[in-house]
Structure 1
Amino acid sequence: MRLNARRDRIMELLLEQQRISVEELAQRLGASQETIRRDLTELAARNRLRKFHGGAALPDLAGDGAFRPRMVENLEAKRAIARRAASLFGPAESLFVNGGSTTMTLAAELAQREGLTVITNSVAVAQLCSRGKSGATFLLGGEHRHEAGENLGSMVLQQVAGFAPRHAVLTVDGVGAGGIALSDLARAEIARAMMARATRLTVLADATKFGREPLFHLGPLSRIARLVTDRPPPPKLAEALREAGVEVTLAPAAQAAPGAAFAAWHGGDPPHALQPAPDTDPDPLPHGSPKR
């Protein structure tokens, strides 16, 4: 395995496991422990991981607060969603990506795709994307919230207004018949600003977010072009999504396989599930169009 590919795989394994030993890395990557130690030293020098005796861990990008436990909640679902979502974007496309455990997982997948431009307020997302093949990564600066690993506030909002990407790719805390929402005001303000400047909105949400109604509303279901999730929505929500014209793309966690993009639902549509989106988007809608 070539040096860059091996180091990319080290970061992928860290994202999955949070921490890993030199011995396990050597076994899984078919390299000597001395080679792995050199890789870890180099990656640590670039602040991509934190070394400890006998292994390495993810850097404290997201602090020690509530975000860290969320990284391991529903991890297989998030990985499946991330892989499927990343496969939907082609070279030369531009994306807003907000902060969150699901979009951090997405960033590791986007890093493997060539020619993408990613604009984000998340330090972790920016670091993961910038180490890969993406064409350019822009980190929006502002007041840094250590526990979330994100930059927030009026400075970020001003910078969002300077971009007009084709896509906004957002993770949310709730998807219900009334729309999508987040549980934090500052993060909701950033998400709304990204939605307003992008042409097409893709929402990433595992099935645990269905039916939740957090406090800060982002927009109605009709604002969403595509929802990528791990399980079919329940009947009432599926009907609401269908009526709103939302494409639902399924990425079943049980079919997760490293390095593979997930096809949408196979074997026939379950009751009330919507048809999955194709791998390529239709022609762009005019900027500012009410249906994104």
Structure 2
Amino acid sequence: MALNIRQMEILELARATGRVAVEDLAERFDVTLQTIRRDLGELADQGVLDRVHGGAVIRSGVSNIGYEERRRMHEDAKAAVARACAARIPDNSSIIINLGTTTEAVARELLTHRNLTVITNNMNVANILVANESCEIMVAGGALRRSDGGLVGDLTTEFMAQFKPDFAIIGTSALDADGDLLDFDMAEVRVSRAIAALARRTCLVTDISKLERSAPVRIISMRDLDMVFVDQNLPAPLMQKCAEWDTQVIVAD
């Protein structure tokens, strides 16, 4: 079934933001709530959106959303989370930064820090931090993933195993309600697990929309983290678990 013009615009909005709300769409297009619900239902039937309470989200599956789409999604939230994280990274620190558009936002916020040592398997992070002349950058070897500039594989994991940084800054593709971090690529997950196990303090940077996504591979649990930087409060049951696990949740301003 072909999409009408409004449905194509709704899909484009969903791709840009990750989520659309029925009431917002009804106001935007000056149509009834029932019309928007029908549109979302038809988009869900086409396999491009998943219905959630009050709206819809980009469909999750066994493959990730394209890098450029992910980079544009929730840009303001990512920037706020990145600022909150970078504010807690002191000068003269050593940091491992892994793959992801939110970790790249953290790298941009570290441009004014002094005397950092940054180890990364993210070519985009390395290219961002080249502008910080006081930052020593160490890039892992491995297989280059052209889609997002990531380096993954056994060689990458072995390289990371040589370090014990002050901080690990990691991202995730999805968050489960039980506190598990999830991803799509097993090779990337092995690197992320190694990074999290090595650092003195492991920090997750994410936005709340990741709770609306799913991915098939478990990375680690929030119980294994020291800090979680997020743009909004996590659901109360998950906040309670983090308190029990002594995992500090920092909500960005």
TM-score, reference length from structure 1: 0.61
Pairs aligned (count)? 188
Identity of aligned pairs, percent?
A: 27
Q: Which residues of 2 match residues 177-196 of structure 1 at below 5 A?
A: 177-196=178-197
Name 1:281's counterpart in structure 2.
none
Would you say the 8 A contact 1:112–1:133 is kept in 2?
no
Distance 2:111 2:139 in 1: 15
Q: CA RMSD in A?
A: 1.5
Cα deviation for residue 175 of structure 1 reads 2.7
Would you say the 8 A contact 1:112–1:134 is kept in 2?
no
Q: Which residues of 2 match residues 18-37 of structure 1 at below 5 A?
A: none
After the TM superposition, list the runs of 4 or more consecutive aligned residues in structure 1 that deviate by more than 6 angstroms: none
SS at match of 2:114: coil
SS at match of 1:70: helix
Would you say the 8 A contact 2:179–2:238 is kept in 1?
no
> Which string of whole-angstrom CA distances, capped at 9 and with x for unpartnered residues, describes residues 37-89 of structure 1?
xxxxxxxxxxxxxxxxxxxxxxxxxxxx8101111100000011111111111
What are the ranges of 5 or more consecutive residues in structure 2 without an aligned counterpart? 1-64
SS at match of 2:118: strand
Cα deviation for residue 118 of structure 1 reads 0.8
Alpha carbons of structure 1 residues 232 and 134: separation in structure 2 relative to 1, 3 Å: farther
Cα deviation for residue 212 of structure 1 reads 4.5
Would you say the 8 A contact 1:195–1:201 is kept in 2?
yes
TM-score, reference length from structure 2: 0.71
Name 1:54's counterpart in structure 2.
none
Bigger fraction of residues in helix = 2
Distance 1:134 1:235 in 2: 41
Would you say the 8 A contact 2:129–2:135 is kept in 1?
no
SS at match of 1:83: helix
SS at match of 2:99: coil
Name 1:98's counterpart in structure 2.
98
Distance 1:78 1:102 in 2: 6
2:204 is equivalent to residue 208 of structure 1: no
Name 2:68's counterpart in structure 1.
68
State the AA in 2 paired with 1:179: D
Cα deviation for residue 181 of structure 1 reads 2.0
Name 1:120's counterpart in structure 2.
120
State the AA in 2 paired with 1:160: M
Distance 1:111 1:141 in 2: 23
Q: Which residues of 2 match residues 1-292 of structure 1 at below 5 A?
A: 66-176=66-176, 177-210=178-211, 212-252=213-253
Name 1:290's counterpart in structure 2.
none
Cα deviation for residue 165 of structure 1 reads 0.7
State the AA in 2 paired with 1:143: A
Distance 1:221 1:85 in 2: 16
> Which string of whole-angstrom CA distances, capped at 9 and with x for unpartnered residues, describes residues 6-29 of structure 1?
xxxxxxxxxxxxxxxxxxxxxxxx
Distance 1:134 1:107 in 2: 14
Would you say the 8 A contact 2:98–2:170 is kept in 1?
yes
Distance 1:78 1:224 in 2: 19
> Which string of whole-angstrom CA distances, capped at 9 and with x for unpartnered residues, describes residues 228-253 of structure 1?
0000011111111111111111114x
